[in-house]
Each structure stands twice: as C-alpha cells, then as structure tokens.
Structure 1
C-alpha cells in the first residue's frame, strides 16, 4: 500500500566521515587514494596534508557546524581541502570557481560560510606544522556539507547534509559493493551531489578516486580510453552525457563493474542499445540511480538487465538500504499498488533542511508518520511515481515547473528573477521547451522600449548564473499572451519558432565553411549561423559542442580537438582545424 522499505543494514550510523576515513588510513596507508593526472596521493599522504590544512582552519575559527567555502577546481587539492574542513569540525560548501562572481558570493553568503579555502590556503598549509589530526569531536549528526539547488524564489537553496546521511549512502549498502579494489571515476562537478558518491565511495573503503579531466569526459573516444587505461570499475554519468556517449561510442564502458546513470530520466533507446551489446562489450551492471540532493545523492536504484520492446521508460528501481519510500495521495495517505502518487523519502539519508529557510524546510521536510524513529522527517520530492506490478518504482513526471537540464535541477523562476533585473526588460516569462535533444529554457521578453530589443541578455545572465541556467533562446515580443484571469499564459509560450539569422552575421565564403555552418545550424535548430558567431551565444552548450565536434570528425575524417573549439567556438575555427588535417 504505497510503503516501500530498503533492507536494514548495520552502517556506522554513530560515526563520522573523518573517523571512517582514519580507519582506512591505518589499514592501508600506502594504498593510492587519489589519482589526478601525474599526482598519485596515498592514504597516508592525503591524511597528513589534510591534517596540516585542518590545523590552519582551526586557527581561523573553524569548528563544529562552521560552514567553509571550498573554491577549488576538481583535483587532489579539492579532496585535501574537503577532508581538512571535516577534520576541523566544519562543513564544506563546494563552489565552482567557474561560476560568476556574483553567484559565488550569493552561495557563500546564503550558506553563512565563515571561511573560504582556495589554492592559496592549501599551499600555505603544506609548509605548516600539524601532521596529526586536530583534537575535535565530530558527531554523526553534525553538518557535513551544504550543496545548492535551484530555487523558485530567485535564489538557490542550500541543502544541509549530515555525516550519517553520507555514511548511509556508501557504507553497508546494497546497490554497489564498495571495497579496496574499487577504482571510481571522478567526473561530477563538486557542487553536484554525485560527487558525494564518487568521493566517499572510494575513500571510506580504501579504494582509489581517479579524477577524469573535463575535456576527456566530453570527448567520446578519450573517455573510453581513459576508463580502460585506469581500469575504472565504477562511475556515474548524467543521463544526458550517457545518451551522448551511447550515440557515438557505445563501447566506452567496457570493463566497468558498475555504470550508474541518473540526474534525469534515462533514455530508453540508449539503455537498450547498451544492453544489446555482447557481455564483453558493456559494463557488468547498469543501474538507474534516483535521488534528490535532499536525500543524499541516491535514494532509489534499479539494476537494468533488460527492457521490453514496448518499454516507454526505465524504472528507477527500489529503495536502497536504510531508505524508505512512500507513494502518497494529496492527503498523505499511501496509495494502492499500481496507482499514481507523490514520492516521499524517509530514513537517515534525509537532509537536515535548507540553510536559513525554516518555513521552506517545514514545508518540504514534514514529520515522517511511517518511521519508527522519534522525530524522523521525510522529504517531499514533488515527483509523481507509480509502483509497477514487479515492485519497481516508475517515474512519471513533476508536480511543478522544475526541470533537469544536463543533470542539474533548474527552477525557471530563479532564471526569471535574475533576468528581471535587466534594465531594458519590462515583462518576461521563462518557460521549459522540449526538443529532440531534451529540455531547454526559453526566455520570452517584452522590451521596456517598444520596438527595441534588450541588449546583451545572455551576457547579462552569464554574470549571475552558471551556463546551464542560461536560456537557449531569447524571444522578443510586443507583449505576452494572457489567460482569462490575467496571468501569463505559459502554455501558449511552449512552442518557439526558429530564431531568425542575425542581419550582421558573416556568411560562409567557402564550400567547407558552408558545410560546417549547416551542421552547426542544424544542431542548434537555427535557420543559419555566421562563421564568426559564438556557438554558446547561439544557445549551444558543452554536450552539443561534443556532438558537433564528433560529427565533424566523422564527416571529414578530421581530428578537431574539443578543447580547441571550446577556446574559439566558431565555424571559422572549425574550418581552420578541418583544413589543417586535410
């Protein structure tokens, strides 16, 4: 009757992340903990480096419950900093250094971060004293980290996660068999909660974390070669990236034990294609991983072994160990088997709540009436699901406007709030538009001065929002359609006409440029593109860039580097690279 419980296993619910990590240091000090390019860091070295930085953080006032911003790129320094923050008693707040400065400031302010760690602090600590860990007691219910998700009110929400929630995710669990022989790929942005799975799945079991460079991740052939070269055993990919890789290099995952895919709905055709490969040409296990940030990365996982010919979706699976799922009606009563309902999640993986937002915390984290633990709360996901006859949960859709774009949660309202600050815009609406390549944001704007187009809208947003929150298209209109009640009719805005070519665009001048421009415009859904137009300013993103470069290399038997295109994302640069290889 709508209540599903994962197995109960003896995970270290009364311990802390530094304590479990310390046990691995004692057990295998010389084992390699992190591989980052040419850097091979053992458990003993990582322990010592993080201890030194932890002592430095203590001198700067870091202690229990203190939030510490970590402004570092993916790599071994980031891992050192995170461990140091926890050993000092604090909670880490990872902030991508590539985010706009204003976004960084907002996140650190909202998290109430008292200290920020950059590369300067890591280097300063390397020459300081303190080879042993500070004498700090860290409770299992202490705050471990704060991660931000998009917020409908115009500002991101900081999700507070405790130590025991992370331990529930990776210790004594049943969806992946972690151990010292695990080689886990680190591909996620640290501000994305899949990073929690990667980092602690390796370090709390004596395994090795392999940092895969971003360009390698986004280059089909390079990704497969890197996974094979490092003999990676387990990795997580967003659904969007998985679909891209399967379309171009379906043999990339040979040799993996576990390939977890999630962050959004898994593409049925891509999953079926992978399962159709012979066993030696695919990972041993394909898993659909589901879980909001508010329930610590994964709450539900499903082993995907086959898909019926008429399957319209990939089931998300069953609750993982020490996790409960409730499918409830609007009155919070469990629904009968086979009926639709909203998914609520309970158990020790449920986060503490949102930083500085008690009302929203109370709304999204109500008391759990089905739990045996006093004071337990559950998380209201806003996702509609159904329990199938085989006991697996099936995702049906959202109850609100929230959407996943390349694995990231995006609230259109947050984008609207940022764009509304543009001085040349009188009225606007940001809606979600579905294309053959997935979801995209479209901004419909009414200019403050009739007949004029607001200048630099994309650049304006780029100063405040990460690139995956910037609309793919901007449509300027004299007014917005209204419903009979006087509200913006968002349904009428769903269909978007192809953007007309810019009158100032530089047209192709050679046959090669014309072919490359045609490939680019087709991919972006535009009538045409100029040879000097910026691919990203036209609505492109990293996954589309990966696909374009792959198509060009296949079409022209070229060796265009994704990095070269990202540095100069124009048709003119593509033409030069293709010509050079001829």
Structure 2
C-alpha cells in the first residue's frame, strides 16, 4: 500500500477558471458572489467589474504568459483583481501590501511580473467598458504564482496552472461544492488555502464570505461571525484551530465542513471536537494536507474519532485525481507499513518554480507510476507511512523546513537574509519548540569580537514577513563545529527566556502587576516591563490572541484584540481593562 490513488472523476481538465466563472455569472447573475463587510457583490457585478479591469490590463500589455502582481488586502477588490488578471490571459501574483518593500520587489522580480494591480488600477478601471473579452481557453496556462520560503535564501514562486485549480475544486470527493455553499474567506491571498476558498465558491455559484483578520484572531468572535454569515464550509490553519478550540470549542457548530491543516493537527483538540455533541460540532471534520506545489490539498481524511492514547491524527488518503507514493531513497515503493518519503502525482502538480530551473528539477521528477505521457511527481520532503487502514500518517520532515503558524519557513532563507547584516560574521537559525509552539532562534557571532550587533530584529522585519523573524537572538564568540567543520546545530544551546531591559518600567498598580505577570507567564519570561513591546519579547499574533482571551476571562471584560495589537504593552492592556470594568 505504498502506492495510493484517489478516485478518478471527470473534472473539467480542458477548461479554465474564467470560463467556468462566466458560466455561473450568466446562469446566476443576481446571486451574491462575495460578501465583504457592507459590500454585497452579485455575480453580474463581479463579472462586469472584472471585465473593466481586464480591459485595462489588456491595454497595459497583459496577455497569455504575463504575470501580474496584485498588491491588495483581502476583500472583494482582491477577488475582482485576480479574476480580471485571469480574464486578461495573465497569471496573478499575490503580494501582501504589508510585506516589507524589499521582499515585495524580490517577489515581483522573481515572478517576472510586468504589471501590478493596486487600488489605483481599480479606480482607473471604472472608465473602461464592461463588455466581455474573448476568454483564454488553455487549461495548461498559468493561473497564479505563490511564493513559499526557499532554502536557497530567496522565496520560491510556485507556478500553478488552471487545470490544477480545477482538479482541486471541480468534481472532487472530499467536499461537495454547490450554489448553496457559503465559504469563509480567511486565508491571506499569499497562502494557498485562498485558492480553495475563492474558486471553491465562485466556480459553483456559491457565496464567498470575507471574515476580517481581527474577527478570526479575537477570542470568541469567530463563532458568532460564522453563524452570522451562515458559513457552511471553511478551512483553518492547525495553529488557529488549536487556539479556537482552547477558548471557544463550540465555534464550529452548524458547519457542514471544517478543514484544518497547514501543520500537524493537535490530537487533543481534534479529540475534543470529534467527541463533542453533534449539535456543537461540524457535520464533517477533515484533516487537509498538501504542499503549495500540489495545489492546496492532495490528501484529506475525516476525523471522526481520536483514540485517547493517540498522539497524532492521520492526514488521510489521496483526494480525487491525485496519486501518492511512499518511496525510499532509490525512488522505490517501500514495504507495507514502512516509513518513506511522500511523492505526489496527478494534475494538481504545479509547473515548477519561477526562474529556478535547478530547484524545479530537484523537486519535480518524472512520474514512473503514471500512464499519462510527461507526467511528473512532486517530492514533498515529508516522511510518512501508510497504515493498515490505508490512511497516511505524517512522521516528520527529512530536511530543515518547518511550519510556523501554518506558514512554510526555510531557516536557510532567514539565515541568508540575516547574513547580509554588516555586523555579523557567522550565524545559524534553528527551530525550537514542538508543533504549534515552534519558534525561530538566531545564533550569531559578531563581526567585531566582544560587541553585540544592534537592530537585528528591525533589520529582518524590514525584509521578511513577521512569521519569519526569529523570536530570540543569541550572541556567541563562536559557534560549535562538527568534525567536518560544519556548524553543529545540535550542540547549540537552547535560547533562555528573553527578559526586558534592566531599565524597563516596572508595574505601578496592582492591575499592571497582575497583567505583567500574566504576560510574562505566557511568554515564558521571568518578568515583563509595562512598556515593553509584546512582539519584541517573542510574542506573535496567536499568543496575543491567547493573552487577550485570558485577560477577558480573568477580568470579565471585552478587550478588543485590535486595541492590543495597535499598542502591544501592559500599559495599554491595563487601560483597556480599566475602561471595560
């Protein structure tokens, strides 16, 4: 059972995303396509708005083979933009407006984006005609380029074709899409779950409901939002699922489908949800696994129960039109039940990496088990085994890649970026902590012995997204080496808790003292100054969510997460608690 095939279903392999969307717009013009705050955009309106922008993009030279950067936040405008890019014949390249400018430039350059779409282009598009354009019909054309962390020091742009997207959301077996589906849009556009959310809804006449990031992160807010929007299906990263289940385990009641993934699913939280009364849990609870290179999901498995002694949750079986191979180092199938590296085949496999032919050849190999000429399989780097019941079990990575709050991170990319700091002579970036609590730690040797390089966190924050900035920086006179002269990462000491500066402002009231103790305990620190920045001490958005939840429960108040994120200090927390009491 080291070679597994999902069911073969007749998905529209020769069609394209805009062709299928146009069919829905013609058949359901007045149906609501996107709900975004006070905006209700019908299929007809979305069709017309994307046509206008597509005309503008065509006038700017966008056509088959073009890559178009999209610098917009989540919302109905982002959906309009990606649809317009596809109608113009191009491929969209989502680039977070909040990403550091240098990283934005690198991503657009690597993707060879010739045009970018921002709110200014949306404004200009209003003057262009709304008449339909001749739509591209090449299912093997590029649909989008998504960037993941790269071991070579630069992010890798994964090139995904139209047919790969259609294999994910059309005539598949893990979820039934249809016009009565209301799918939550919670993923960042640079995260491949965005593909599942947007096209799962819009290619079947369903409704895409944009849930604000603050709602997703604010303790207790997600459940009411899902109920208010009458959400039927959603995907949530494992880390966010863990947080919601810790605080509000009934948040998913009424859902038809809840998919979780992006990292190892916490077995205890999954056990809790699967064992909840039927009216307090989703009808179907699924573990979804798949690298960006295989178009969001390649393997899914229902989580119906989790044994009391289980420490992990199986990732499932191949979804429709997908093959999985568990192979040894010689690319031979392993014995039944043996561990091996997971390779994935089928039309969901991406074209490769933009501008990185060597990396493409290394990870995308000829598929010797396929009957289709020229078929390729993707080498995941994940160690798995196939259980007796046919379910795949994730065992770990065979390289240094990790998941930080659902995002893929190559420590090598962080090292390469930090290595450009002029005050560093040698460094190593390692991962500490278990799944769900992982953090990056940077060990550095200064260029000038006896000094302490300044501004390392700020240096990286200006070049990398937040989840790739190490939580701790340790300065050494030298790094330990192996007998062959390489850095001995296993010998690096664990990072001690980072406390505040010696001149940090101490608590001045009983409330500040109690909040400082709560914050320090959450961060694993001895103490916290009341003006210390929560994120500079190693915090992140999910820990902030947990802290606000604990504060609200302890003081019977309703501090908004956004207020704390705006000023992440104990002083601000104390002020908000006092205001709410």
Query: Shorter-chain TM-score category?
Result: over 0.9
CA deviation digits over 1:165-192, x for unaligned, max 9? 0000000000000000000000000000
Q: Which runs of 4+ in 1 moved over 4 A?
A: none
In 2, the alpha carbon distance for the partners of 1:246 and 1:343 equals 30
After superposing the two structures, state which structure 1 stretch, 30-39 or 427-436, moved more: 427-436
In 2, the alpha carbon distance for the partners of 1:174 and 1:494 equals 47
3-state SS of paired residue (1:549): helix
3-state SS of paired residue (2:433): strand
User: What is the aligned partner in structure 2 of residue 539 from structure 1?
Assistant: 538
Q: Is the 8 A contact 1:431 1:494 kept in 2?
A: no
Unaligned runs of 5+ in 1: none
**How do 1:274-285 residues align onto structure 2 when only pairs under 5 Å count?**
274-285=273-284
**How do 1:318-467 residues align onto structure 2 when only pairs under 5 Å count?**
318-435=317-434, 437-467=436-466
User: What is the aligned partner in structure 2 of residue 62 from structure 1?
Assistant: 62
CA deviation digits over 1:198-250, x for unaligned, max 9? 00000000000000011000012111100001110000000000000000000
In 1, the alpha carbon distance for the partners of 2:158 and 2:16 equals 19
In 1, the alpha carbon distance for the partners of 2:360 and 2:435 equals 36
CA deviation digits over 1:344-364, x for unaligned, max 9? 000000000000111111110
- Using the size of structure 1 for normalisation, the TM-score is 0.99
3-state SS of paired residue (2:47): helix
In 1, the alpha carbon distance for the partners of 2:576 and 2:219 equals 18
In 1, the alpha carbon distance for the partners of 2:422 and 2:503 equals 24
User: What is the aligned partner in structure 2 of residue 523 from structure 1?
Assistant: 522
Unaligned runs of 5+ in 2: none
In 2, the alpha carbon distance for the partners of 1:132 and 1:303 equals 44
In the alignment, does 2:75 pair up with 1:75? yes
3-state SS of paired residue (1:18): helix
User: What is the aligned partner in structure 2 of residue 48 from structure 1?
Assistant: 48
**How do 1:457-496 residues align onto structure 2 when only pairs under 5 Å count?**
457-493=456-492, 495-496=494-495
User: What is the aligned partner in structure 2 of residue 3 from structure 1?
Assistant: 3
User: What is the aligned partner in structure 1 of residue 119 from structure 2?
Assistant: 119
CA shift in 2, pair 1:61/1:436, >3 Å: closer
RMSD: 1.0
CA deviation digits over 1:238-278, x for unaligned, max 9? 00000000000001001100000000000000000111210
Q: Is the 8 A contact 2:16 2:136 kept in 1?
A: no
In 1, the alpha carbon distance for the partners of 2:493 and 2:183 equals 40
In 2, the alpha carbon distance for the partners of 1:279 and 1:418 equals 49
CA deviation digits over 1:266-303, x for unaligned, max 9? 00000001112100001001100000000000000001
CA shift in 2, pair 1:126/1:317, >3 Å: same
CA deviation digits over 1:341-399, x for unaligned, max 9? 10000000000000011111111001000001000000000000000011100000000
Q: Is the 8 A contact 2:500 2:532 kept in 1?
A: no
3-state SS of paired residue (1:298): coil
User: What is the aligned partner in structure 1 of residue 508 from structure 2?
Assistant: 509
In the alignment, does 2:34 pair up with 1:34? yes
CA shift in 2, pair 1:209/1:494, >3 Å: farther
User: What is the aligned partner in structure 2 of residue 498 from structure 1?
Assistant: 497
3-state SS of paired residue (2:335): coil
CA deviation digits over 1:439-479, x for unaligned, max 9? 11000111222222111111110000000000011111222
How many residues matched?
581
